[in-house]
Amino acid sequence: METPQRNLALDLVRVTEAAALASARWLGKGDKQNGDQAAVDAMRLSFNALDIQGRIVIGEGEKDKAPMLFNGEAVGTGQGPAVDVAVDPVEGTNLLAYGRPNAIAVVGVAPAGTMYDPGPSYYMQKLVVPSAAKNGVDLDAPVGENLKTIAKALGKDVDDLVVFVLDKPRHQDLIAAIRETGARIQLHTDGDVAGALMAVDPESEVDVMMGTGGTPEGVLSACAIRALGGQMLARLDPQKEAERIALEERGIDTTAILDVHSLVGSEDVFFAATGISGGTFLPGVAYKGTGASTHSLVLRGRSGTVRRIASSHRWDKLMRFSAVQYD
């Protein structure tokens, strides 16, 4: 038996809370650039207080030229464990800009060298299921066959299932195939990290996520999926010729099927997410004049511990020393 070890996720939640508090000021203002920048600045400052030797493996923003915590950037004090870091200061920048639900601030951490580096890949086909359904699903199986397998594992009928799908033109055939089975669908414009989390969260009404979303978001999601015991089957799915050529030049096999263990090669993972705009997954930031409240999900892979943290933040105390202008 071991004495309790440091739970980095409890440090990471301060990072996601800072990003959420800073970016939520931009909710519904139609300016995703400044909303994202506020989250990035707050997250970077918060990382400076963490005793880790961190390296950003999964940064954000390359796809849409947003402000970034750059891939390869060092974060932390340079003391403590060497870790790979995956970040998305605002997962769902459009959701934040237009005041839509399920924008979240997210961080995942794993031991150095264990996190999959997607290189120039932007898009990935994904199938995400909870722990009870992780055996028997097949990325190449027909949609109906996978849904029957999942329903049986969960003790449900197929028409009881709820499938999370991004509402994109590329998913027209997928949506039609799901509807043909009788399963129900939640269509979301953005936010496939939140979708993956909902698929493995026993408290969510979502049972499975299907379709093609972001590759960086897939690796980030895998930190949480591994901690929760679920499964993600994935394959790189370039959507443009330039992306396909870049992957080919790097010698990356776009036919290989990846799973959650391929994406994060250690169970010693830590994950934190804080709601920004609220919605079906996590309540958003609520400002109260003298402060604010936040809600977060905090996971430790090795112990399987899941924490849901509701926090109150007081401007009169916090702004005495904080470099982030929350109020």
State whether 259 and 272 are in the same domain: no
Cβ atoms < 10 Å from Cβ of 4: 6
State whether 145 and 24 are in the same domain: no
Q: How many domains does the chain have?
A: 2
Q: Nearest-CA neighbor of 284 among 14, 25, 10?
A: 25
Is 190 annotated in a binding site? The answer is yes
Is residue 24 situated within a structural domain? yes
State whether 82 and 191 are in the same domain: no
- The predicted structure's pLDDT at residue 203: 87
The CATH number given to whatever domain includes residue 152 is 3.40.190.90
Is residue 326 situated within a structural domain? no
Q: What is the pLDDT along the chain (327 residues), one digit of tens a residue?
A: 554 577 899 999 999 999 999 999 999 999 999 999 999 999 999 999 999 999 999 986 454 454 568 888 899 999 999 999 999 999 999 999 999 999 999 999 999 999 999 989 999 999 999 999 999 899 999 999 999 999 999 999 999 999 999 999 999 999 999 999 999 999 999 999 999 999 999 889 999 999 999 999 999 999 999 999 999 999 999 999 999 999 999 999 999 999 999 999 999 999 999 999 988 889 999 999 899 999 999 999 999 999 999 999 999 888 777 777 776
Q: Are strands 123-129 and 208-214 parallel, antiparallel or unpaired?
A: antiparallel
Whole domain around residue 153: which residue ranges?
123-263
- The predicted structure's pLDDT at residue 6: 78
Which residue in this structure is represented by tokens 């604010």?
A: 292
In DSSP terms, which residues pair with 308 in a beta bridge? Answer: 297
Is 237 annotated in a binding site? The answer is no
The answer to whether 72 touches 101, Cβ cutoff 8 Å, is no
Is 160 annotated in a binding site? The answer is no
Is 36 annotated in a binding site? The answer is yes
Is 251 annotated in a binding site? The answer is no
Is 191 annotated in a binding site? The answer is yes
Is 123 annotated in a binding site? The answer is yes
Is 93 annotated in a binding site? The answer is yes
State whether 207 and 290 are in the same domain: no
Residue type, 318: L
- The predicted structure's pLDDT at residue 66: 46
- The predicted structure's pLDDT at residue 64: 46
What token pair was written down for 320? 């005495």
State whether 78 and 154 are in the same domain: no
DSSP string, 237-269: ---SHHHHHHHHHTT--SSPPB-HHHHB--S--
Q: Count H helices and E strands in the chain, helices first.
A: 10, 13
What token pair was written down for 85? 């870091």
Is 192 annotated in a binding site? The answer is yes
Is 203 annotated in a binding site? The answer is no
Q: Is 180 helix (H, G, I), strand (E, B) or coil?
A: helix
State whether 103 and 226 are in the same domain: no
State whether 157 and 273 are in the same domain: no
The answer to whether 275 touches 104, Cβ cutoff 8 Å, is yes
State whether 18 and 130 are in the same domain: no
State whether 155 and 273 are in the same domain: no
Q: Nearest-CA neighbor of 17 among 218, 264, 291?
A: 291
Report the Cα 102 to chain-centroid distance in Å: 11
Is 91 annotated in a binding site? The answer is yes
Is 226 annotated in a binding site? The answer is no
Is residue 325 situated within a structural domain? no
- The predicted structure's pLDDT at residue 326: 72
Is residue 192 situated within a structural domain? yes
Residue after which a domain boundary falls, among 263, 278, 297: 263
Is residue 276 situated within a structural domain? yes
pTM: 0.93
Is residue 3 situated within a structural domain? no
The CATH number given to whatever domain includes residue 46 is 3.30.540.10
Is 111 annotated in a binding site? The answer is no
- The predicted structure's pLDDT at residue 281: 84
- The predicted structure's pLDDT at residue 63: 44
State whether 24 and 37 are in the same domain: yes
Give the C-alpha separation, 151 to 163, whole Å: 11
State whether 295 and 244 are in the same domain: no
State whether 34 and 89 are in the same domain: yes
Give the C-alpha separation, 310 to 261, whole Å: 31
Is residue 248 situated within a structural domain? yes
The answer to whether 75 touches 85, Cβ cutoff 8 Å, is yes
Is residue 1 situated within a structural domain? no
Element (H or E) spanning 144, and its range? helix 143-154
Is 217 annotated in a binding site? The answer is yes
